[in-house]
Amino acid sequence: MNTPVDPTAARADYYRRIAASHLTPLWESMAALVPHAPRSPAVAHCWRYADLRDALLESGTLITAREAVRRVLILENPGLAGSSAITPSLYAGLQLILPGEIAPSHRHTQSALRLVVEGSRAFTAVDGERVTMHPGDFIITPSWTWHDHGSDADGPVVWLDGLDIPLVRFLDCGFAENLGDDVQPLLRPEGDALARYGSGLMPVGFVPAHGTSPVFAYPYARTRDALRQLARANSVDPHDGIRLAFVNPATGGPAIPTIGTTVQWLPAGFDGRPRRATDGTVFHCIEGEGEARIGDHVFTFAPHDTFVAPSWQATSLHAARETVLFAFSDRPVQQALHLWREERLA
């Protein structure tokens, strides 16, 4: 068959006709469907805590934690408007709980992490055990485990939530239910999981019930001690500083099956080399201050700021002071599927 001299009109007419049968021509979208390299719809962005804290606290005057179920301001990527996503696969938000409040117990197939931003003496109960929150603590809610939050603090408590909501939505495998009671029964004393699974020890014959780390709370005091000790070793990666992954001690794998989590220490004056990877990554500054260069963007960051680096955008980190960053991404998912790639640039 010969191609018409001016194919445009004939093709447009053809596309209109086949559209009625829910058919579309691959050749018009080939380059977008099978790109040479990731071209993320997400954009680099930084949420400065000092700029949003007042608005977050104001939410506490407008709705209770009970009515909201979870009183959270979602950090929505400007390139993903309407999707409640910070990267195509991940969700992030800042959750506020006020003295005496309770966020009632529920469970869902989405996995969640918390990184405590400010305030002490809020608590979360996960699967029968309560943990008291302190700034910098990393806490996990495994898929399909009951969890409720509360606060005995005398001021606001805020934490960063990270969930695999967009991934679970993409896979169409989301389930959720409410317990009915505000709080779940506590089955073990506080500190049980850390002692039992997080002390370089493991119960003899332990068989994991699920893929998530049985250590569901990693206190910042311990993490910081590890980083302080390693900082003395003087072997700092030129791209990452000293970067450690939170792991499931029962498997050596990621602490959360769908979300990779790390903490990294950068010495004062660190001038990191750029790297890029296919896992779009959310960073949160726990301590210190510096600059993140992501693609064409440059952001200065300070404590409690959260910034996002989309897939395959060159990212370098620079620290004005000694700095600790928390980060999360979908790296374990990509690695399980043999899709993850990284490039370390000069």
**Sites of contact with ligand GTQ (CB under 6 A):** 70, 72, 93, 95, 108, 112, 147, 161, 163
Report whether 72 contacts 161 (CB < 8 A): yes
Q: Least separation, in Å, of the C-beta of 147 and ligand GTQ? A: 6
Determine the Cα–Cα distance for residues 268 and 249; give it in Å rounded to an integer. Answer: 31
Q: Least separation, in Å, of the C-beta of 246 and ligand GTQ? A: 18
Give the residues across from 95 on adjacent strands. Answer: 72, 159
Report whether 153 contacts 117 (CB < 8 A): no
- Between 184 and 316, CB nearer to ligand GTQ: 184
Q: Least separation, in Å, of the C-beta of 229 and ligand GTQ? A: 32
- Between 162 and 272, CB nearer to ligand GTQ: 162
- Between 70 and 169, CB nearer to ligand GTQ: 70
- Between 168 and 324, CB nearer to ligand GTQ: 168
- Between 98 and 319, CB nearer to ligand GTQ: 98
> What's the number of CA atoms in the CB half-sphere (13 Å) around residue 134?
8
Q: Least separation, in Å, of the C-beta of 154 and ligand GTQ? A: 22
Residue nearest to ligand GTQ (CB): 161
- Between 130 and 147, CB nearer to ligand GTQ: 147
Residue 74 buriedness (CB in 10 A; 0-12 / 13-18 / 19+): middle
Q: Least separation, in Å, of the C-beta of 70 and ligand GTQ? A: 4
- Between 109 and 251, CB nearer to ligand GTQ: 109
Q: Least separation, in Å, of the C-beta of 94 and ligand GTQ? A: 8
Q: Least separation, in Å, of the C-beta of 182 and ligand GTQ? A: 14
Q: Least separation, in Å, of the C-beta of 108 and ligand GTQ? A: 6
Determine the Cα–Cα distance for residues 316 and 293; give it in Å rounded to an integer. Answer: 5
- Between 100 and 203, CB nearer to ligand GTQ: 100
Q: Least separation, in Å, of the C-beta of 148 and ligand GTQ? A: 9
- Between 93 and 156, CB nearer to ligand GTQ: 93
Neighbour-count burial for 139-165, b at 16+ CB within 10 Å, e otherwise: bbbbbbbbbbbbbebeebbbbbbbbbb
β-pairing, 323-329 with 281-287? Answer: antiparallel
